[in-house]
Amino acid sequence: TSIGPLMEKIGNGGKGIAWNTQSEMDLLRKLNYTKADGPAKGQPMLNTAIDAAEMILTLAPETNGQVAVKAWAALSEFTGRD
């Protein structure tokens, strides 16, 4: 099991906003290693509960301050307000 390529293509987000996740995906590749073959080749693996927890903690704005800043910037761009 792995994180799919759409996370890099369309980014992370919801409710009409999205932000770039390239740096977080690169970090997860280092932490969780990558799939060697198949459609998810090169994507971060999710083989254990720890891998899944690392994914959530890395990608969620509620648990990662740098991602929270990206999410608020995306919301600001979407609404036109600071």
Instruction: Give pLDDT, residue 82.
Output: 85
Instruction: Tell me: pLDDT of 78 over 90.
Output: yes
Output the pTM of the full model: 0.87
Whole-number Å distance between alpha carbons of 72 and 70: 6
Q: pLDDT digit string (tens) for 21-31?
A: 999 999 999 99
Q: pLDDT-derived band of residue 33, with 50, 70 and 90 as boundaries?
A: very high
Separation CA 2–CA 37 (nearest Å): 11
Task: Report how far residue 65's alpha carbon sits from residue 44's, in angstroms, rounded to the nearest whole number.
Answer: 21
% of the chain residues with pLDDT over 70: 100
Q: Strand (E) positions, the chain?
A: 12-14, 17-19
What integer pLDDT is reported at residue 25 of this predicted model? 96
Query: Can you tell me the mean pLDDT for 22-42?
Result: 94
Total residue count of the chain as it appears in this document? 82
| Structural domains in the chain plus CATH codes | 6-79 (1.20.1700.20)
End-to-end CA distance of the chain: 39
